[in-house]
Structure 1
Amino acid sequence: MAEAVARVRYIRVSPQKARLVADMVRGKEVEQARAILKITTKKSARIIQKLLHSAIANAEQKKQMDISALYIKEIVVEGGPVLMRYKGRAMGRATPIRRRTSHIRMVLAEK
């Protein structure tokens, strides 16, 4: 069974927030996932929508797969490097701010 893979790395969205959207589309057919992502009002939904579009293009171009029979077999959100920023506080102190990043991998397969 052929599979098409697409990845996006170093996305400026926390893995926790990206997983909320990833859980909504995992296991769904491609057209159903597109519809869900289109109406979802989260930053990570736009990113996953672009990733889905890329995975579909990979399936069509590299694997010659039938797009109407595709579903999201696997979508994995992992944490990337954390960007450390600091916020000035009272009495000359500073507290760290962690800007989290994500790596997302999507695998499409035919039913």
Structure 2
Amino acid sequence: MFILEACVFAVIFIGFFGIIFKQNVIMKILAMDVMSTGAIAYYIVVAARGGIFAPIQGEIVGRAYADPVPQAVILTGIVIGFSIQALMLVGVMKLARNNPTLEAKEIERSNTPWM
């Protein structure tokens, strides 16, 4: 279990450092998606326990049932992450119309007013 958690944290850190160090805006969006996927995977790793059953019809006495609320939270997080990524890609499309490059430093340099 420790190795799986370490791999998930590695994915989160790869996404985090991708956001910081990549200069291309598309690569920053992809790194943000990788970090979001790592966070969801960590939630799944923590929630995965043996001996817990899905709450389906029929009552069995003496069994531990999984709480369905965290599943709904994860599904909501996935949908919100997808919509945010789509919105960011639309913003990149608008940036691409006005700028010949998608490098963050060049976009900042061309859109900064001179004082």
TM-score band, normalised by the shorter chain? under 0.3
Normalised by the size of structure 2, how large is the TM-score?
Answer: 0.27
The structure with the larger Rg is 2
Which structure is higher in RCO with an 8 Å CA cutoff and minimum separation 6?
A: 1
